Amino acid sequence: MARTHKIAVMPGDGTGPEVVAEGVKVLDKAAAKFGFTLDYSHFDYGGDRYLRTGEVLPENAVEELSRNDAIFLGAIGHPDVKPGILEKGILLALRFALDQYVNLRPIILYPNVDTPLKDKGPDDIDFVVVRENTEGLYAGAGGVLKKGTPDEVAIQESINTRKGVERCIRFAFEYARKRNKGKKVTLCGKTNVLTFAFDLWARAFYEVAEEYPDIQTDYAHVDATCMWMVKNPDWFDVIVTDNMFGDIITDLGAMIQGGMGIAAGGNLNPEGVSMFEPIGGSAPKYTGQNVINPMAAIGAAQMMLDYLGETEAAASVEQAIRTVVAEKMKSMSAGRMGYGTDEIGDLVAAAL
Ligand code: IPM
Ligand code: MN
């Protein structure tokens, strides 16, 4: 019997549906070539549904999504919906409810892609950020007092549990071993100021590190991490960090790897259901014009194949991405690729 993977497809808002369609095109080609079946279920969660129904996620959403082996997400964010509602109500809600405790974000500069970093090339930019994905400032702890008055107080607390931090750190060490490149994990923190939270992180980090004598350890404050990512990105192999710092440094990472058009990520629960997404957002102004770069979504699809155990197919999609990026595309930016969104998907599928 052929292997079957159940995939929940959530195109979402803006250009999400366009890029997801290209990801699915490539997935279908990979499935045909490598002899497995993808059984898709479609979910219309996003801004349009919210505006129509007034609910962000229906009651049974988590349960229905959990019946799948993985989720393939386009983008969440709608210009007519107040910021925060969809992001917290859908994206963060799913990351939390499905306990996707690692947000894995590879920062790879493919050959022939422009980076704003002078004199840096593909040999210098090849690392991955392991971002804690369920705690920190994102946990929603805190509150507001005397709102709207001159005495207003707003408190937003960073939650760091030993368990949450440790599982994320352990994932980073395992990943560094499996990746087998620099064999180094850098903790990105702020131990000089956030002396409660990052003291916990640092202790957990060095304790876990003892179990991995083959992996080097390093530490950088988050501000210095930003500096080194620009100055010496080749120093990094695997960076592990908290939710907020991970959010920030991966946007910087996306820029040095050629832009949001190429940056993919996976929200992972190694023991549960993971969700793969291009990290760039819904880019509403490009919606429906066939100009958005679907490569990040195709990269997310490739990460999903790898996670589903279709490693050969994943490697082959990665090679196809490299080929199309190196030999065909003029730019990673929307509208300047030299091809339409759908043609990029065709090219990657053909290169497979
Ligand atoms: C990301 C995004 C989200 C985040 C937003 C949309 C809530 O920026 O995936 O990086 O902050 O995690
Ligand atoms: Mn972000």
11-49 pLDDT per residue, tens: 999 999 999 999 999 999 999 999 999 999 999 999 999
pLDDT in tens, 79-126: 999 999 999 999 999 999 999 999 999 999 999 999 999 999 999 999
Query: Do 119 and 253 share a domain, yes or no?
Result: yes
Cβ of 75 below 6 Å from ligand 1: no
Tens digits of residue pLDDT in 118-166:
999 999 999 999 999 999 999 999 999 999 999 999 999 999 999 999 9
Report the CATH number at residue 231.
Answer: 3.40.718.10
CA distance linking residue 148 with residue 319, whole number of Å = 54
- Indicate whether 264 belongs to any domain: no
Q: Rounded distance, CA 331 to CA 212, Å?
A: 40
Looking at residues 321-340, what average pLDDT do you find? 96
Q: Is 50 inside a domain boundary?
A: yes
Q: Are residues 10 and 93 in the same domain?
A: yes
**Mean of pLDDT values over 290-319:** 98
What is the biggest distance separating any 2 CA atoms in the chain, rounded to whole angstroms?
68
Distance 107 CA to ligand 1 centre (A): 16
Percent of the chain with pLDDT over 90: 99
User: Relative to the alpha carbon of 84, which ligand is closest?
Assistant: 1
Q: Would you say residue 266 lies in a domain? A: no
Q: Percentage of residues in the chain with pLDDT exceeding 70?
A: 100
**Structural tokens at position 292:** 């958005």
One domain for residues 167 and 236: yes
Alpha-carbon distances, residue 265 vs 44, 98, 149, 248, 295 (angstroms): 21, 16, 41, 14, 12
Query: Residues 187-194: what's their mean pLDDT?
Result: 98
Nearest residue (by CA) to ligand 1, atom 6, is 87
pLDDT tens for each residue of 230-277: 999 999 999 999 999 999 999 999 999 999 999 999 999 999 999 999
| Whether 141 and 243 share a structural domain | yes
Q: Residues 193, 149: one domain?
A: yes
Q: Do residue 60 and residue 129 come from a single domain? A: no
Among 26, 23, 20, 24, residue whose Cα is nearest residue 316:
26
Distance 343 CA to ligand 2 centre (A): 27
Residue 90 confidence (pLDDT): 97
Does some domain include residue 106?
no
pLDDT score for 1: 57
pLDDT score for 297: 98
Domain stops at, among 210, 229, 257? 257
> Does some domain include residue 67?
yes
Note down the domain range covering 95. Answer: 1-101+273-352
Domain boundary pick from 216, 233, 257 = 257
Tell me the residue ranges of DSSP E strands in the chain. 3-12, 36-42, 70-75, 102-108, 126-132, 136-145, 153-159, 184-189, 216-221, 238-241, 264-268, 274-278
Looking at the structure, do residues 240 and 299 belong to the same domain, yes or no? no
What does the pLDDT read at residue 2? 78
Identify whether the C-beta of residue 98 lies closer than 8 Å to the C-beta of residue 66.
yes
How many structural domains compose the chain? 2
φ, ψ (nearest 5 deg) of residue 341: -50, -50
DSSP codes of every residue in 226-293: HHHHHH-GGG-SEEEE-HHHHHHHHHHHHHHTT-GGG-EEEEE-TTS-EEEEETT---GGGTTSS-S-
252: Cβ below 6 Å to ligand 1? no
Are 122 and 252 within one domain? yes
Does the beta carbon of 135 lie inside 6 Å of ligand 1? no
Q: Does 244 contact ligand 1 (Cβ within 6 A)?
A: no
User: Residue 280's pLDDT band (boundaries 50, 70, 90)?
Assistant: confident
In angstroms, what is the span from residue 243 Cα to ligand 2's centroid?
10
In a domain, 110, yes or no: no
